[in-house]
């Protein structure tokens, strides 16, 4: 984490350097302006090929040279700033991806966290609604519709959910082989007894 601020500081330092170079270039341009608007391209000799007498030729030549050097420095610095910003953004994106990955990992861990079971399936009749939903003997019920570890008191709670849900799917979570399995069970009339066709018993503590 300490790397990020130092990277930002490095960019700030580069920007400061860039501003200083721009100020220097401007100051040199002001000198040229003062030398009879000599600029960067005005000839330093008169029509007869002699050094001009209305300007300080040596100074103009030196200033022009300095401006060219500074402009090169400026170009190199701009490239450095661009690369540094690019790295910063890439690092931000990487950090964002890592944060998202951690979040997904947490969510997965929460989903896979095994809650205490409230009851167990000890028989499932073939062709029954329970069998069709994928419920298996030995499944430990964690959630049965609105009934869960927090509000479960006895099997009567589950029986009530079944009675009130005829023809409507109930969300069920069971523990099977040490994993949470989510199923949908619709209580309904079938050829056998009851609306489920399975037997649910309290867990032996």
Looking at residue 49, the DSSP 8-state letter turns out to be S
% of the chain surpassing 90 pLDDT: 58
CA–CA dist 78, 168 (Å, integer): 66
Residue 11 buriedness (CB in 10 A; 0-12 / 13-18 / 19+): middle
Contact 122, 146 (CB under 8 A): no
Position 159 pLDDT exceeds 70: yes
pLDDT > 60? residue 1? no
Q: Given this model, what pLDDT does residue 22 score?
A: 92
Instruction: Give the model's confidence band at 107: pLDDT under 50 very low, under 70 low, under 90 confident, else very high.
Output: low
pLDDT band at residue 88, thresholds of 50, 70 and 90? confident
Give the SS3 label for residue 122: strand
Residue 104's pLDDT is 75
Q: Would the pLDDT of 108 be above 70? A: no
Answering whether pTM is above 0.75, one says: no
Q: How confident is the model at residue 97 (pLDDT cuts 50, 70, 90)?
A: confident
Q: Is the pLDDT of residue 167 over 90?
A: yes
What's the pLDDT band for 2 if we cut at 50, 70, 90?
Answer: very low
């Amino acid at each position: 984490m300490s790397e990020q601020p130092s990277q930002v500081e490095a960019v700030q330092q580069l920007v400061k350097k860039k501003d200083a170079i721009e100020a220097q270039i401007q100051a040199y341009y002001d000198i040229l302006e003062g030398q009879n608007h000599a600029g960067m391209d005005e000839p330093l000799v008169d029509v007869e090929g002699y050094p001009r007498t209305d300007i300080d030729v040596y100074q103009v030549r030196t200033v022009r040279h300095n401006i060219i050097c500074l402009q090169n420095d400026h170009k190199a610095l701009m490239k450095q700033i661009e690369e540094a910003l690019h790295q910063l953004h890439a690092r931000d994106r990487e950090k964002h991806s890592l944060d998202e990955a951690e979040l997904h990992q947490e969510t997965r861990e929460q989903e896979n966290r095994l809650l205490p079971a409230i009851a167990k399936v000890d028989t499932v009749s073939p062709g029954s609604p329970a069998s069709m939903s994928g419920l298996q003997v030995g499944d430990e019920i964690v959630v049965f519709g609105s009934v869960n570890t927090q509000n479960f008191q006895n099997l009567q709670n589950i029986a009530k959910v079944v009675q009130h849900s005829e023809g409507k799917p109930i969300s069920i979570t069971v523990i099977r082989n040490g994993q949470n399995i989510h199923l949908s069970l619709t209580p309904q009339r079938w050829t056998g007894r009851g609306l489920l066709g399975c037997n649910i018993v309290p867990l032996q503590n």
